[in-house]
Amino acid sequence: MNFKDLKLDPNILKALAKQNYTEPTPIQAQSIPAVLAGRDLLGCAQTGTGKTAAFSLPIIQLLSREPRKPGAGRRVRALILTPTRELAIQIMDNVKAYSQYTDLRAVVIVGGVPQKPQERALQQGADIVIATPGRLIDLIHQKHIDLQHIQMLVLDEADRMLDMGFIHDVKRIIAVMPKRKQTLFFSATMPPEISGLIQTLLVNPVKVEVTPVSSTAERIKQSVYLLAAGSKLQMLNQLLQDPSIESALVFTRTKRGADRVARALKKANITAEAIHGDKSQNSRQNALNHFKNGTTRILVATDIAARGIDIDELPYVINFNLPNIPETYVHRIGRTGRAGMSGSAISFCEADELPYLKDIEKLIGKAIPEVKGHDYPMEPQAAAANRPLGNSTANRPGKTQAGHSRKPQAGDARKGRTDDGQQRGKPKQDRAPKAAASGARKPDRNANSSLKRDAGGDSKGHANDKSKGHGNGNSNGRTNRRPKPSGADPRNKVSSSH
């Protein structure tokens, strides 16, 4: 099948040819005809499967077939809501490329940048608006944008928007739109908590599910290092001495952790930049551009800031911290192995993260091969515990080791709250090695800072991507996070000096 078979207009096919697009991906092949037929859509596909084109191409076609009346100004007829600034900007770039031979005009509305240019862009007229919720609500309240003529609504990365506490913002935005509209709901994962919203928004939708929620791309080579406490930075530095790792996206659980890792890599003469919600929009965009053009070898990011990073030939993803939400692992490693390319996903795991590893392996249905023979092995007692889904191992070159099994110990899951609004294990996984031997730590005063800053606040202090004050960034009561056990060891608290 090619794009011509989807009955797209010649102007769109011309734009796709310019982008060297020939064959639609499965999500595109199934979604585009349904949207062109006017159906609501529930799309579930992993990152990198082509969701953006799956909804933007039919939107462009349907809107371009409705010419404006002579002398009439442009009205916003399509709204695309996204959780982060980076993702909104990425979608805007794609929409501009796909619609370049049409008369349509698109505008991106995000926080973290001055509002005046966005006001002027809206005054000039727009057919399509791509926005993050917080800044859009500001502009609605200030009467700079009118959504009464919306014909098509897209919720992209809907699961993440709900996890970040946007459900009330989304409902407030929907309330000012016409009740009759076509709604497209796209998400990489489909947790049970969003089913209520789906039933409210979608009318007899076509469901397109390209890959299961728990699936990981077969072409991604996964591995895990079981590490001694406090040895992650040494292991990362050693790993990056391999010149074959030309570039890598490194995930940390916290913003401060991302900064610490980037600083440590720079000290080791490895070009690295951090990207998270405390950075300005220009700083984040510059860091992303440097990574894409090869100026920066390593990009260190939090999960939320990484939304919108779209790089077809990213060879490596490194989980410096394992996520406490298993589906996030699938999201992370989906950044590599895209566009038919192969990729590698490497994870670091200390003893207190073993429960997270167990949950991830349960979700994906297999054990992640362990790399042995490195210089920083986990303590024998923890490393000897059972691995419930198997004992597959991946040995370093030139070494052969027998597999072993492991099982999280009762005291492993000692969790607090991170500044990304998630639970986490003991914080020394983000600390420099010398901190591992230190004594009791003072509580981290910033550990509960709002998720909205990592999502990207707007210039007025109103977050464009809000966490509604929920401690874990989830308004929907997600139950697959491990609870904080009683009697937590005070030595696992991080000093505010870090």
Per-residue pLDDT tens digits for 451-494? 343 444 443 434 343 333 333 334 343 444 454 433 434 333 33
Check whether 356 has a pLDDT greater than 70: yes
Cβ neighbourhood burial of 341 (10 Å; 0-12, 13-18, 19+): middle
Per-residue pLDDT tens digits for 274-333? 988 788 778 888 898 899 889 999 999 988 766 656 676 788 999 999 998 888 888 788
> How many structural domains does the chain have?
2
Q: Determine the 3-state secondary structure of 32 from DSSP.
A: helix
Co-location of 179 and 288 in the same domain? no
Co-location of 203 and 237 in the same domain? no
Report residue 196's pLDDT band, with 50, 70 and 90 as the boundaries: confident
Q: Establish if 86 belongs to a structural domain.
A: yes
Cα-to-chain-centroid distance, residue 21: 24
Check whether 370 has a pLDDT greater than 90: yes
Q: Which of 160-169, 259-268, 341-350 has the highest mean pLDDT?
A: 259-268
- pTM above threshold 0.75: no
DSSP 217-261: -TTEEEEEEEB-TT-HHHHHHHHTT-TT---EEEE-SSHHHHHHH
Task: Give the residue-averaged pLDDT of 11-23.
Answer: 93
Q: Establish if 361 belongs to a structural domain.
A: yes
Per-residue pLDDT tens digits for 129-160? 999 998 999 999 999 999 999 999 999 988 77
Phi–psi pair at 162, nearest 5 degrees: -70, -40
Where among 160, 179, 209 does a domain terminate?
209
Q: Establish if 62 belongs to a structural domain.
A: yes
Co-location of 178 and 291 in the same domain? no
pLDDT of residue 215: 55
User: Residue 32 sits in a domain of what CATH number?
Assistant: 3.40.50.300
Where among 209, 239, 263 does a domain terminate?
209
Co-location of 317 and 411 in the same domain? yes
Co-location of 322 and 253 in the same domain? yes
Domain carrying residue 44: 3-209
Structure tokens at 31: 């979604």
Q: Which of 347, 388, 346 is nearest to 367 (CA)?
A: 388
Co-location of 163 and 230 in the same domain? no
Cα→Cα distances 313→185, 288, 296, Å = 27, 14, 15
Q: Establish if 469 belongs to a structural domain.
A: no
Phi–psi pair at 186, nearest 5 degrees: -115, 140
